[in-house]
Structure 1
Amino acid sequence: MNILTFDIEDWYNCDFISGDFDWDKHEVRIYQGVDRILEELEKRSQKGTFFCLGWIAEKHPDVIRSIQKQGHHIGCHSYQHELSFRFDEKTFKVDTLKAKCLIEDVTGEEVNAFRAPGFSITKNNAWALYSLAEMGFKYDCSMFPAPHDYGGMPSYGEGVPKRIDVGDGRIIKEFPISIHQVMGKHIVFSGGGFFRLFPYWLINHWGKHSDYMMTYFHPRDFDVNQPVIETLPAMRRFKSYVGIKGAFTKFQRLLDHYEFYNVEQADEIMNWEIAPIVALKSLK
């Protein structure tokens, strides 16, 4: 099963370091970035899940409308791209509900899927999954089932879709990021910096040998003219800008070579009766 997802945020949202949320001062590049992606998907009658910031819905609602117009599944990516483990339970819920409501006000439809910025739901804030269920989310796509820069969730186990029993009779259907081991390091070849770094033949080889591939792309992954944030730490800067020049061509080839589903479509074809059930307490 191959799932196509996008995180809808602008070029400066690779910065998790500065804590600068004064975004109105930045050049706006999100419109052309999203339009370019939508054009490629329309050519192939392909549908994806677009995890959108509440801030985008508030400041640039036409971006959300353009995604909805083409019939894509729209999810929530927090309000202003703060890492989830920087919140406590109360503030996480405030931030997420704000984003959810802003997106729903634009689309007129329920938002039922969530992805944490930076895959930042970890064992230390696994309670966030219960909060998501309380807020009416059916799907989460935040699990990085291995060690990660922002913690990860090694206790999740095998990186495949699972049902998470969060308590009180509530279930979250989890579609985690798919990982691959290279020389003992857990990497994600189907999105982000490693997708941009590795040659397409290698990405295609890994993809063909994967029963489950969760992609995640950002408009900035393909934007060769975006400004560079000079103040990022060296490694973060490398990961943010490596391989941008050839990334869109690789993205087009991936769309041509694989059949993709959005999260709702994947839910419909999943045999959940045989999917593992994980208790929330086992993740902590």
Structure 2
Amino acid sequence: MSKHETANAELDHGVHTDPAALDELTEAARREQTEVGADGGVAGYRAGRTLRLGVELRRQLHRRRTQLVLGFVVLLPFILVVAFEVGQSSPNRRSGGFVDLATASAPNFVVLALFVAGGFLLPTIVALFFGDTIASEASWSSLKYLLAIPVPRHRVLRQKAIASGLLSVLALVLLPVVSLVVGLIWYGAGDAISPTGDAIPFGRSLAVIALATVYIVVQLAWVAGLALLLSVSTDAPLGAVGGAVLAAILSQILDQITALGSLRNYLPTHYSYAWMDLIANDIDWTNMAAGALSAVAYATVLSLIAARRFATKDITS
């Protein structure tokens, strides 16, 4: 039996052992507890096992603000139906704007839901999820403890951004899906009618709705990037969310000023409704391509600045 094993056996049975053996055993235990791995971390520590995505998603889904946002998205189509039922609408209309054609068929009802939510509600949802990522942890004074676990800063930002992105996509997809179901119940599976008079068969209109939803998700990426940047720059979640929403509103206001001419093309919201070009027999992809490229460019730059800002920020809360 080795000296360490003998000392361990004697300690287990309450038997005295010589001081030299005890000192050696204590030193060995200390070295074992403080042993470092090849990456310089404590033995057994794996950065990739900290702040797992599933844990963060479950945590976010249990938050009241997430439940309220998703609940309102589900409720909105029913509110629109009640509005049309209370008012006067003709389900057989084949002309007019998107609002006039909303009750013509289920696809038209989905188009209306995306149209009325696209200006304010959808950007606010994305801003809420991304603006609340880091700023909420800082406001709760839990960010410094999270980093002290330790969770690497880039992993904290990445995991929280991914969770926010998944929740945003869930909300953005949930709206047209629920609207389609509600529209089928109330208005039937008819053709999608455009204001120009083009009629798109129901089967093809489903693909159009799917593509429109994908475009909206991509186009709102710039809001996500801006909200993330504001979230790492302030300890006030409301400031981060409100700043991103105000930026979206300001961009929409400036986009209405025709005196700006071609400068409006560089506004992040200029192509917000380019998905409407899909509701036509001959689709013009120009505006959608420009809108997607603009949103991705804005989102990339803003996200890189956010990552740089968070990596060098002095965390005090």
Which protein is richer in helix relative to its size?
Answer: 2
Which protein is richer in strand relative to its size?
Answer: 1
Q: TM-score, normalised by structure 1?
A: 0.26
Q: TM-score, normalised by structure 2?
A: 0.24
Flag the structure with more relative contact order, 1 or 2, with Cα contacts below 8 A and sequence separation at least 6: 1
Higher Cα radius of gyration? 2
